Chains A and B, each alone.
Chain A
Amino acid sequence: MADADTQREAVRAAAENVADRLEDEKEYLTDLDSAIGDADHGANMSRGFRAAADAVADADDAEPSDLVKQVGTTLISEVGGASGPLYGGSIMSASQTFAEDGITAETSVDFAEAYLDKVKDRGDARIGAKTMVDALTPAVHTYKKSIEQDDLPPLEALGKAVDAAERGVEFTVPIRAEKGRASYLGWRSVGHQDPGATSTLYIMEELLATAEEYLEGDVERDATAVEQPDEDPSDVAEDGAADDDEGGE
């Protein structure tokens, strides 16, 4: 992405778009969370991202990495429960990847990986535990592969990542929760879609929408022409499980 002004504007727009989307989806997320959690995910996420969008709205000369960091720190103080440290803490530490070169295709891959690592580390969750990791892992792997191996433009890579996240969300429905409050329900958690994976998908969809706005002209993207990513969440489970064995209960 171009100059620092454009990057700042894009970060502010992304925060605004995510806040609006989570406001729209507040009740749906809360419904999902009331089935297997404590029914506050929609309200927490909506309140947190609204505050984050407001916090960065007027920043005219901050470094893009500092703006991203500001989003994270605001989420930490505004979002309760586990979502504060998971979303906010991970954004905050991953923002470091933008410190030197700003937001580029390369640094965005680093950001995505750092974010995923932090979420997995903090939440001690692996693929198949019915958490946001199920949506995030295939999305980040797909994004990295699309940029680094397939040499796709960022917008197309992000489109593929969103598709992968969507499949990851569907993957959470039939499985049994191993982490968080849902894990106390045991088999009764089966059949319910994970709220954290769902909000992760919404955030990614809004990042894609924002990128479409800011990268327009850089690349043509036809949503229907995007191929399905060949990465299946259940495939990722293999390597995910290997380094996360200690992550169990």
Chain B
Amino acid sequence: MIGLVIVSHSATAAEGICEVAAEMGGDAPIEPAGGDDGEIGTSAPAIEDAIEAADDGDGVVVLVDLGSAVMNADLAVEMSDADAEIADAPILEGAVNAAVEATSAKATLDSVVERAEEARDYRKLS
């Protein structure tokens, strides 16, 4: 099963988004990687750990918030042995989409990234 990692500058935000996504994600492993040593920030080693924890061999999709979250996630993906990819998507909407796709029997790393990235086009008011 494809795993998910939620990277935010805030540990609370990362956990909260995992909570929302898990509601739709069934058994998909969803791991938070939030904060840096208890403070606001992100850390590549912590993200790498979360990727390893979320990976059961099929690969991991990483959702990120802003700025250094992207760079640290990028580095973590590089350092990790798991097949991991960052989705270019809004973190919460992307996570929900990705979690739903991950429950599909046909889900692949690509399909989960693709579904997460579809969330870029969502409008809140039409």
List chain A positions with a Cβ less than 8 A from chain B.
76-77, 80-82, 84-86, 89, 93, 122-123, 180-181
Contact = CB atoms under 8 A, between A and B. Distances in A.
B45 interface: yes
A202 B45 CA distance: 26
B71 interface: yes
B83 interface: no
A93 B44 CA distance: 14
Contacts of A76: 44-45, 75
B78 interface: yes
Given A80-B36, A180-B67, A85 B72 contact: yes
- Interface residues of A, dominant DSSP: helix
14 contacts: A77-B44, A77-B45, A80-B37, A81-B41, A81-B67, A81-B68, A84-B43, A84-B72, A85-B74, A89-B71, A89-B78, A122-B71, A122-B75, A180-B67
A29 to B, nearest CB: 17
B74 to A, nearest CB: 6
Contacts of A84: 43-44, 68, 72, 75
Contacts of A77: 43-45
Contacts of B39: 80
Contacts of B42: 80-81
Listed from nearest, the 6 A-B pairs whose CB atoms lie closest are A82-B68, A85-B71, A85-B75, A89-B75, A80-B41, A81-B68
Contacts of A180: 67
B44 to A, nearest CB: 5
A143 to B, nearest CB: 25
Given A80-B41, A81-B67, A93-B78, 19 more contacts: A76-B44, A76-B45, A76-B75, A77-B44, A80-B68, A81-B36, A81-B41, A82-B68, A82-B71, A84-B43, A85-B44, A85-B68, A85-B72, A85-B74, A86-B71, A89-B71, A89-B75, A89-B78, A180-B67
Contacts of A93: 78
A180 B42 CA distance: 14
B75 A82 contact: no
Contact of A123 (B36, B41, B45, B71): B71
Nearest to B39: A80
A100 B45 CA distance: 27
Contacts of A82: 67-68, 71-72
Interface in B38-66: 39, 41-45
Contacts of B75: 76, 84-85, 89, 122
Contacts of B72: 82, 84-85
Nearest to A183: B67
Nearest to B35: A80
A89 B71 CA distance: 9
A81 B41 CA distance: 6
B67 A181 contact: yes
A80 B45 CA distance: 11
B120 to A, nearest CB: 15
A80 B71 contact: no
